[in-house]
Amino acid sequence: MPKILEKSERVLNRIVDIQQLIANVFLLVIMTIITLDVLGRNLLNQPVKGSYEMTELGAALVVFFALAITHRKGDHITIDFLLDRFSEKTKYRLNGLIELVISVVLFFMARHIFENGLRMMERNSTTTDLMLPVHPFLFVISFTVIIFMLTAVFKAITYFRLAVNK
């Protein structure tokens, strides 16, 4: 692989690793919020204000921050009984093609989410209880989808290289 692609992939992998760490932190924060909310409700009769919103936004961030690492490691649910019937070279070609389709879909998805964030910013949309602006969350999510897309692009390149080398 050319040096620029190797270096780009290393940088992307570092970003994906950082995203995984951020997802883990958000998961811990969600667990803490839920624990404090339950304790506050049952012991003090005083729930944590906005716990539902914080849990909801945190869960969305956990999912989107974890998508790229899940895809990189191949931990998605797959049904590949049909692929098992093909030769190795054909499997690599099909997987590369699938990764390209995933990349295109993710590009349009990220663009749509970003545009939605711009609309939310123009409208000053906020959450109900805490009055948090919604658009920063959408911008972060669109960034994570772009990272997911780039991960799929690099996997496609890898699959096509494997098909050529077979």
Task: Enumerate the β-bridge partners of residue 126.
Answer: 133
Instruction: Check: CB of residue 13 under 8 Å from CB of residue 72.
Output: yes
Q: Is residue 51 predicted with pLDDT exceeding 80?
A: yes
CA distance 66 to 78: 17
From residue 81, alpha-carbon distances to 78, 84, 86, 89, 91 in Å are 9, 5, 10, 16, 11
CA distance 146 to 158: 18
Mean pLDDT to the nearest integer, 46-69: 94
pLDDT of residue 74: 82
Which structural domain range is residue 115 located in? 3-165
**DSSP for 20-63, written as a single string:** HHHHHHHHHHHHHHHHHHHHHHHHSS-PPTTHHHHHHHHHHHHH
Model pTM score: 0.90
Q: Is residue 83 predicted with pLDDT exceeding 80?
A: no
pLDDT band at 5 (very low <50, low <70, confident <90, very high): confident
Q: Determine what percent of the chain is predicted with pLDDT higher than 70.
A: 99
Q: Which residue has the tokens 């998508």?
A: 67
Total structural domains in the chain? Answer: 1
Q: Which residue has the tokens 């190797």?
A: 6
CA atoms in the 13 A half-sphere facing the CB of 78: 13
